[in-house]
Amino acid sequence: MILPVIMAGGSGSRLWPLSRAQFPKQFLPLVGEQSMLQDTCARLKGLEHQPPVFICGEDHRFIVAEQLREASVGHGGILLEPAGRNTAPAIALSALHALASGVDPLLLVLAADHVILDVPAFQASVNQATAFAEDGKLVTFGIVADAPETGYGYIKRGKRLSAGADSDSGSSFLVEAFVEKPDLATAEEYLASGLYDWNSGMFLFKASTYLSVLQNHQPAMYAACVDAMNGASNDTDFIRPEAKAFLSCPDDSIDYAVMEKAVLDTAAASVVAIPMDCGWSDVGSWSALWDVAEKDENGNALHGDVLLEDSRNCLLHSQGKLVAVVGLDNVVVVETDDAIMVAAKDRVQDVKKIVAQLKQGGRAEAVANRKVFRPWGYYDCIDHGERFQAKRIVVKPGSCLSLQMHHHRAEHWIVVSGTAEVTRGDDVFLVSENESTYIPLGTKHRLKNPGAIDLEMIEVQSGSYLGEDDIVRFEDTYGRS
């Protein structure tokens, strides 16, 4: 049986300002109505598989859990990495978690931030790979290259193992080599040879096979992951590997730590490539998103409130404000609540340099969107000044914030829709639409939505310090106290 392992970590800085460290691209609906994480789960329908296991960081745990709930996706656990140690240790944690249940499944390793337009082709390749994986092979899925891309690593095909009728569909090969991202001239040679596929970062193998190869070639990494899972703790949906053990783990990718080492062991002939032609993209830049997006008759990909005149081959994305462009060609314009990014489409890889400048300047726009998601809902900072801040707060039905207090600010709450259950000191009372209440500085308080619809309210904070770290939690449903 297949156990999907969906890696949902990463910061996605190349799609700034939409994607940021606290809410990266895998959680955004970049192609279609669902988020990329939800799309990754949806394309598993039709495959025989166990409930997926997810891997992410502590900061993203509630986003993952909420998006799975929204999409009605069951799971076999959400593994929380104490810190990023790249893909090889992350997959080892999931393999150890799987074996602890007493079975040895085939791990289908997927990234949560890829686009696949041809789902039947994807599923056919996965089904084709199962026999090799059951036989103890490490299977990697190579994307059939149709351009000399310099932003991807490549897989060089070796001996053909099986052949399709008229194309690479249904074919499989031993892997001769994994190669680094090439320069343009080398990429053109790869494409002309017909021997190279893009490295998709998707894999299929037995949990025990992966751990055996890891232990053989990376014993320190293997030992650290075993210790981390032996000391793991469970917290509702979340599995927390023991932090100290995991932090001692070397940082390396599955390609370097496992796959390349296994390819070099020519006696074993253990790494198989399945070419996959499925409309794949890792959406690693705004130009890559333009490639897979729907376009108008002039090649423009449009999202949100956008007007254009005499413009071609542009990507225009508005989250709220009207974006109007005139006479542009091959330009990307992205508008969010707190930032506007304009770039030549052939220079979008340099967006990460803007993010580096933001980080160097300590600016919040590098890390967080104006709308911040929490396990109970979200808040949106709609205005602020030297001694005040106004937020729009939405609390999901049945959810509540922590019992808390602030040393430096007081708060006014105005209910816009729904009903709020307010704890203020020793008093507990209801506040309905068009009603308000006041939370004095230093007073214990809690906000809860006891109703069946979203609670929406406006919070006005006033005081000498308005930072999010001015919170003393006394009780918390989500383990943050």
254 & 180 share domain:
yes
Distance CA 271, CA 90 (A): 20
Do residue 184 and residue 206 come from a single domain? yes
Q: What is the pLDDT of residues 386-401, one digit of tens each?
A: 999 999 999 999 999 9
- The DSSP letter of residue 20 is B
In the beta sheet, which residues pair with residue 138?
271
Specify whether 111 is located in the same domain as 152.
yes
- Which CATH number does the domain housing residue 214 bear? 3.90.550.10
Within-domain flag for 80: yes
pLDDT at 165: 41
What pLDDT was estimated at residue 372?
Answer: 85
343 plus 303 within the same structural domain: yes
Q: Is residue 365 part of a domain?
A: no
Low-confidence ranges of the chain (pLDDT < 70): 162-170, 266-269, 480-481
pTM: 0.90
The CA distance from 431 to 446, in Å, is 13
Same domain, 269 and 404: no
- Residue 451 belongs to some domain of the structure: yes
457 and 430, same structural domain? Answer: yes
Domain co-membership, 352 together with 325? yes
Radius of gyration of the chain (CA): 25
Residue 480: inside a domain, yes or no? no
pLDDT tens, residue by residue, 82-139: 999 999 999 999 999 999 989 999 999 999 999 999 999 999 999 999 999 999 999 9
**How many whole angstroms separate alpha carbon 301 and alpha carbon 289?**
9
Residues 250 and 159 in one domain: yes
Same-domain status, 246 and 392: no
Quickly count: other Cβ atoms within 10 Å of residue 216's Cβ.
14
Task: Supply the pLDDT for residue 87.
Answer: 95
Q: What are phi and psi of 422, to 5 degrees?
A: -110, 130
Same domain as 102, residue 206: yes
Q: Where are the alpha helices (DSSP H) in 149-265?
A: 184-193, 207-217, 219-230, 243-247, 254, 260-264
Query: Last residue of a domain, which of 233, 251, 281?
Result: 281
Number of domains present in the structure of the chain? 3
Domain stops at, among 359, 386, 402: 359
Tell me, yes or no, whether 246 lies in a domain. yes
Q: What is the pLDDT of residue 166?
A: 41
CA 326 centroid distance within chain: 34
pLDDT 10s digits, 162-171? 644 444 456 8
The answer to whether residue 392 is domain-embedded is yes
Q: What is the pLDDT of residues 236-282, one digit of tens each?
A: 789 999 999 999 999 999 999 999 999 987 656 699 999 999 999 99
- Check whether residue 244 and residue 324 sit in a common domain: no
- pLDDT at res. 353: 94
Residue 235 is predicted with a pLDDT of: 83
Residue 95 lies in a domain: yes
Query: Which of the listed residues 233, 252, 281 is the one where a domain comes to its end?
Result: 281
Does the residue 364 lie in any domain? no
Domain co-membership, 268 together with 389: no
Range(s) of the domain holding residue 132 = 2-281
> What pLDDT was estimated at residue 10?
81
Query: Any idea what the CATH number is for the domain that residue 444 is in?
Result: 2.60.120.10
Mean pLDDT of the chain: 93
